[in-house]
Amino acid sequence: MTRITPIRTNSLNGGIQKIYKFDNGYGASVIKNAFSYGWGDDLWELAVIKFKDAFDWEIVYDTEITDDVVVYLTEDEVQKVLKKIREIEKDEYTI
């Protein structure tokens, strides 16, 4: 399986944040830190995001993926959700 790689990795609240971006204008913020669901079990929390421009983005809660964040994910589960986000159809408001 080809792994999807982040466009950026940051330190965040003593943990890590990975940002993913796809051609459809959507992406994901995937975090693991003391404030995220799954931290104690070494699991990830994922938010679907939509880019406003090349660098600015916001969390979206109205996709077919989820209406909230997706929590308690393993690395493989993160990859499965990323593939679904990559397939979201681009709309007229998406960059």
Examine residue 39 and state whether it is found in any structural domain, yes or no: yes
Instruction: List CB contacts of 54: < 8 A, sequence separation 6 or more.
Output: none
- The tokens for 95 are 């960059």
Domain hosting residue 82, numbered range:
8-86
Encoded amino acid at 69, one letter: V
Examine residue 94 and state whether it is found in any structural domain, yes or no: no
- Per-residue pLDDT of 50-70, as tens digits, reads 999 888 999 999 999 999 999
Our count of domains for the chain comes to 1
Examine residue 1 and state whether it is found in any structural domain, yes or no: no
Examine residue 95 and state whether it is found in any structural domain, yes or no: no
Q: What gap in Å lies between CA 59 and CA 42, rounded to an integer? A: 23
Q: Could you give the 3-state DSSP secondary structure of residue 80?
A: helix
Distances (CA, A) of 55 to 37, 52, 70: 25, 8, 22
Encoded amino acid at 74, one letter: T
Examine residue 93 and state whether it is found in any structural domain, yes or no: no
Examine residue 45 and state whether it is found in any structural domain, yes or no: yes
Q: For residue 93, name the pLDDT band (cuts at 50, 70, 90).
A: low
Examine residue 44 and state whether it is found in any structural domain, yes or no: yes
Phi, psi of 12 (to 5 degrees): -150, 115
Q: What is the pLDDT of residue 58?
A: 97
